[in-house]
Structure 1
Amino acid sequence: MSFIRTFHGDIKPDNLGFTYSHEHIMCRPDYWVQRGEDDLLLDDKEKSRRDVEDFVSHGGKTIVDATAIDYGRDVQAVKEIADETGVQIIGTAGFNKSFLWNARIKEELKPIIGEFTTYAEWIEATSINELAEFVIKEVEEGLEGTPFKAGQVKFGTGYNRITPLEEKTLRAVARAHLETKAPLHSHTEAGTMGLEQLELLRSENIDLSYLSLGHMDRNPDPYYHEQLARTGAYLSFDGIGKIKYAPESTRIACILKLVEKGFENQILISGDTARKTYYKHYDYGLGLEYIIAKWVPRFIDDANRQGYDGEGLIHKFFVENPANCFTFKQ
Structure 2
Amino acid sequence: MSFVRTLTGDIDPQEMGFTYSHEHLVCIPPYWRERGEDDLLLDDKEKTKRDVLDFKRHGGRTIVDATAVDYGRRVEEVKAIAEETGIFVIGTAGFNKSFLWSAQLPERLRGLIGDYETYYRWIDEASIHQLAEFVIREVEEGLEGTPCKGGQVKFGTGYNRITPLEIKTIRAVARAHHETKAPIHSHTESGTMALEQMEILREEGVDLSCVSFGHMDRNPDPYYHEQVAKTGAFLCFDGIGKIKYGPESMRIDCILSLVEKGYEDQILISGDTARKSYYKHYDHGLGLAYIIAKWVPRLVDEADRRGLDGERLVRKFFFDNPARCFAFKT
Please indicate the TM-score interval, normalised by the length of the shorter structure: over 0.9
Say whether residues 1:7 and 2:3 are aligned partners: no
Distance 2:34 2:138 in 1: 27
Distance 2:229 2:246 in 1: 21
Runs (5+) with no aligned partner, structure 1: none
SS at match of 1:186: strand
Distance 1:261 1:180 in 2: 33
Say whether residues 1:229 and 2:229 are aligned partners: yes
| Structure 1 residues 204-243: aligned runs within 5 Å | 204-243=204-243
Shift of 1:53: 0.5
Say whether residues 1:58 and 2:58 are aligned partners: yes
Distance 1:295 1:18 in 2: 14
Shift of 1:109: 1.4
Distance 2:26 2:252 in 1: 28
Q: Residue 131 of structure 2 aligns with which residue?
A: 131
Q: Residue 114 of structure 1 aligns with which residue?
A: 114
Q: Which moved more, 1:6-15 or 1:309-318?
A: 6-15
Q: Residue 70 of structure 1 aligns with which residue?
A: 70
Distance 1:117 1:272 in 2: 29
Question: Deviations for 1:103-153, whole angstroms, at most 9, x for unmatched residues?
Answer: 111111111011001000000000001100000000000000000000000
Distance 2:100 2:277 in 1: 21
Q: Residue 277 of structure 2 aligns with which residue?
A: 277
Distance 1:319 1:269 in 2: 10
Shift of 1:7: 1.1
Distance 1:213 1:108 in 2: 30
| Structure 1 residues 125-164: aligned runs within 5 Å | 125-164=125-164
Q: Which moved more, 1:284-293 or 1:1-10?
A: 1-10
Shift of 1:305: 1.1
Distance 1:271 1:20 in 2: 8
Instruction: Quote the RMSD (CA, aligned, Å).
Output: 0.4
SS at match of 2:60: coil
Shift of 1:72: 0.4
Paired positions, count: 330
Q: Residue 320 of structure 2 aligns with which residue?
A: 320
Shift of 1:20: 0.1
Shift of 1:46: 0.7
Amino acid across the alignment from 1:17? G
Distance 2:312 2:215 in 1: 23
Distance 2:324 2:153 in 1: 15
Runs (5+) with no aligned partner, structure 2: none
Distance 1:236 1:89 in 2: 17
Q: TM-score, normalised by structure 1?
A: 1.00
Q: Residue 175 of structure 1 aligns with which residue?
A: 175
Shift of 1:45: 0.6
SS at match of 1:300: helix
Q: Residue 45 of structure 2 aligns with which residue?
A: 45
Distance 1:4 1:321 in 2: 13
Distance 1:57 1:30 in 2: 33
SS at match of 2:285: coil
Amino acid across the alignment from 2:198? L
Distance 2:108 2:101 in 1: 17
